[in-house]
């Protein structure tokens, strides 16, 4: 029998329903979807074509289906209505993407499998040596051994936790994950969290975000490192320089990380602004046209700022790790150079301890004053034009920092990506205030 192959009517209907539902879930009208396909995927169609797909009168070409799956952040199987059977345990969470070269890499894979074998249940306690523990996150990030299937991470959509946190904190979006591993396997937790945030970044780019600001530290650097090549297309990335003047070096990592990300993806049209990113009004001007801003709330155990203090000759202190667990916190509490001047006059660890004690008291205040980046301005843009200001933090120990974000009259974030322990802490705290 000759001629074009026929498409089963039930499959055509499934494709139609899925396209319509996914488009509506992401808040896109027909024209917006047409524009995203044209701009991000070089596919030119009309509003009428989309209506034909959704009315089961036609189906998209294979190349268009692939582009649509990218826009909606689903697999091609999911888009056409084919249910794929996931493997049990760890292999549904990650895949090994290159040959294992030595015993050290074999040990890493064995450990990740052990930690994730009964996921989302937590693993039984078992020890790993101190050297492996310290290097685990770095090795997972840079050895390029495994790829995380972020869509298979356990989300708390159905427990009510995401909805409750979204309502209590008046957030635009919340993603709460159960992350593999115990505290002693924090490197594995951090790696899977970075994969979850990279997946979020890829999805908002697929949905049309084209100008994105990054407040870089370990969290953001890990996110962009795990972003797959080809998933950032025609995006303009710019660094959010949180601090100027005397403590400017505390955020000098931002331009370097953005530049490295651009270099790695430049063949896909990713670029940095051509103008001077250090010019005083740069951030405010770019804010007016940005689609998203990403902040990490200190998943690193030592912030960039602490490292600067070490360079200046101050010993590393647990007190500083506790309160300077992210550069954003430092900048929230540093106004008009006030804290910078106090640091400049500090001559001993005792002076720094007093400053830390003062900052911990500041955290308990119901409002936190503006920082150099005019965070109220960020919040205003987020409210008025739907700017996605994305804060990322996991772990119960980050609760105080995250509360500080929400304590402001206009919280700087309207999207929160976190894990179940921090989410429960925030909901508990909100209920206590009611």
Tens of pLDDT, residues 40-85? 888 899 999 999 998 888 889 888 988 888 787 777 877 886 544 3
Q: What is the pLDDT of residue 275?
A: 85
Q: How far apart are CA 367 and CA 418, in angstroms?
A: 23
Q: How far apart are CA 248 and CA 105, in angstroms?
A: 38
Q: 390: which strand partners?
A: 294, 415
Please, which residues have CB within 8 angstroms of residue 198's CB and are 6 or more apart in sequence?
A: 150, 223, 224, 225, 226, 227, 228
Give residue for tokens 């990113």.
277
pLDDT in tens, 190-215: 999 999 999 999 999 988 899 998 88
> Range(s) for CATH 3.40.50.1360 in the chain?
154-433
Q: CATH number of the domain at 154-433, please?
A: 3.40.50.1360
Q: How far apart are CA 432 and CA 434, in angstroms?
A: 6
Fold classified for 9-80: 434 Repressor (Amino-terminal Domain) (1.10.260)
Q: What is the pLDDT of residue 291?
A: 93
Q: What is the pLDDT of residue 354?
A: 74
Per-position b or e across 165-197, b if 16+ CB within 10 A of its CB: bbebbebbebbbbbbbbeeebbbbbbbbbbbbb
Contact present, 368 and 408 (Cβ < 8 Å):
yes
Q: What is the pLDDT of residue 201?
A: 94
Please tell me the number of Cα atoms within 13 Å of 219 on its side-chain side: 27
> Range(s) for CATH 1.10.260.40 in the chain?
9-80
Backbone angles phi, psi at 236, to 5 degrees: -105, 115
Q: How far apart are CA 431 and CA 429, in angstroms?
A: 5
Among candidates 9, 54, 7, 10, which has minimal Cα distance to 30?
54
Strands (E), 106-150: 146-148
The segments of the chain whose pLDDT lies below 70 read 1-10, 25-27, 81-91, 125-127, 216, 241-254, 298-346, 349, 352-353, 355-375, 408, 432-434
Q: What is the DSSP string of 141-192?
A: HHS--EEE-GGGSEE-SSSSHHHHHHHHTT-SEEEEEEPSS-GGGHHHHHHH
Q: How far apart are CA 84 and CA 78, in angstroms?
A: 8
Q: What is the pLDDT of residue 125?
A: 65
Complete edge-to-edge strand list for the sheet that includes strand 236-239? 154-155, 173-178, 415-419, 388-392, 292-296, 211-215, 236-239
Q: What is the pLDDT of residue 23?
A: 83
């Amino acid at each position: 029998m000759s001629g074009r192959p026929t498409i089963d009517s039930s499959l055509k209907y499934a494709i139609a329903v899925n396209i319509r539902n996914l488009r509506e879930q992401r808040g896109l009208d027909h024209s917006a979807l047409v524009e995203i396909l044209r701009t991000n995927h070089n596919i030119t169609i009309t509003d009428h074509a989309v209506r034909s797909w959704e009315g089961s009168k036609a189906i998209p070409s294979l190349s268009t289906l692939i582009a649509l799956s990218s826009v909606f952040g689903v697999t091609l199987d999911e888009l056409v209505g084919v249910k794929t059977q996931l493997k049990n345990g760890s292999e549904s969470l990650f895949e090994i993407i290159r040959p294992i070269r030595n015993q050290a890499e074999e040990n890493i894979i064995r450990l990740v499998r052990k930690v994730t074998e009964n996921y989302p249940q937590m693993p039984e306690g078992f020890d790993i040596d101190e050297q492996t523990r310290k290097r685990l996150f770095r090795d997972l990030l840079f050895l390029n051994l495994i790829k995380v299937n972020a869509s298979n991470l356990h989300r708390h959509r159905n427990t009510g936790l995401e909805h409750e946190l979204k309502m209590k904190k008046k957030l635009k979006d919340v993603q709460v994950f159960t992350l593999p591993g115990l505290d002693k396997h924090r490197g594995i937790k951090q790696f899977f969290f970075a994969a979850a945030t990279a997946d979020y970044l890829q999805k908002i780019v697929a949905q049309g975000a084209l100008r994105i600001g990054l407040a870089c530290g370990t969290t953001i650097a890990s996110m962009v490192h795990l972003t797959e090549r080809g998933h950032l297309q025609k995006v303009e990335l710019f660094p959010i320089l949180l601090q100027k003047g005397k403590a400017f070096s505390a955020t000098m990592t931002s331009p370097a990380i953005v530049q490295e990300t651009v270099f790695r993806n430049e063949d896909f049209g990713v670029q940095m602004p051509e103008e001077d990113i250090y010019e005083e009004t740069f951030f405010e001007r770019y804010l007016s046209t940005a689609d998203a801003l990403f902040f990490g709330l200190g998943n690193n155990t030592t912030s960039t700022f602490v490292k600067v203090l070490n360079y200046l000759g101050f010993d590393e202190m647990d007190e500083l790790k506790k309160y300077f667990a992210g550069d954003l916190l430092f900048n929230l509490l540093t106004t008009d150079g006030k804290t910078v001047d106090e640091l400049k006059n500090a001559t001993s660890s005792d002076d720094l301890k007093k400053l830390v004690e003062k900052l911990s008291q500041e955290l308990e205040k119901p409002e936190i004053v503006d920082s150099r980046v005019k965070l109220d301005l960020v919040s205003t843009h987020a409210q008025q034009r739907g700017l996605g200001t994305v804060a990322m933090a996991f772990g119960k120990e980050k609760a105080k920092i995250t509360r500080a974000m929400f304590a402001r009259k206009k919280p700087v974030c309207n999207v929160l990506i976190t894990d179940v322990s921090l989410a429960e802490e925030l909901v508990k705290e909100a209920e206590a205030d009611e």
